[in-house]
Chain A
Amino acid sequence: DVVLTQSPLSLPVTLGQPASISCRSSQSLVHSNGNTYLNWFRQRPGQSPRRLIYMVSNRDSGVPDRFSGSGSGTDFTLNITRVEADDVGLYYCMQGTHWPTFGQGTKLEIK
């Protein structure tokens, strides 16, 4: 199975400052059709995951443009330009190119 390794696992951020989460894959996530199926989710305490970004860089409806995804091949990044209190939670990358797997999660908290 494809292993997704996120870093850091814990991310304390000052309000208004940027944040960045890395997701590295053990295999290329480029599908044979040319697409890359790498998604990002946020899970708030006591809630189910919510998709934020799909296919590397496409924001879901209602997701603020403070959130952006980038990367290719095996290296991907989720960036938040200015962290707000509402952004607290666990962030997961997840790939659907191969048998679906998730990263181990990054806990974003406010400093």
Chain B
Amino acid sequence: EVQLVESGGGLVQPGGSLRLSCAVSRFTFSNYWMTWVRQTPGKGLEFVANIDRDGSVKNYVDSVKGRFTISRDNARNSLFLQMNSLRAEDTAVYFCARDPGSSAFDLWGQGTVVTVS
């Protein structure tokens, strides 16, 4: 079964850092753009960042620019999100998602919880 498994979430103080990982299996990781999406009770689902197949193109929502960095390791079938200078408003469930094109998000991980407090 095709899988995406996130890890790395946790409780962190404001100003702190976390690194999220997303391990994928049973599909050719390097063929897909990948995305991080977060979900909060207040703002719902929000696109955070995406990265192209070889890691050369990266896009970020304005609220995380300069603080978050998306990256990938195609040899290890893994996606990452380095989150620095964390704020209370970054508290959310973070999902990685596969993007077959045009932000179609056809496959999602189970999510990892980030709490900034």
Contact = CB atoms under 8 A, between A and B. Distances in A.
Interface of A: 31, 35, 37, 39, 41, 47-51, 54-55, 60, 92, 94-97, 99-105
B28 interface: no
Of the four ranges (under 10, 10 to 19, 20 to 34, 35 or more), the interface on chain B belongs to 10 to 19
Interface in B2-17: none
A48 B47 contact: no
B108 A39 contact: no
Contact of A99 (B47, B105, B110): B47
B74 interface: no
A94 B104 CA distance: 9
B106 A60 contact: yes
B102 interface: yes
8 contacts: A48-B95, A94-B45, A94-B105, A95-B103, A102-B44, A102-B45, A102-B46, A102-B47
A96 B103 contact: yes
A39 B95 contact: no
B109 A37 contact: no
Given A101-B47, A102-B44, A102-B46, A51 B102 contact: no
Contact of B109 (A41, A48, A97): A48
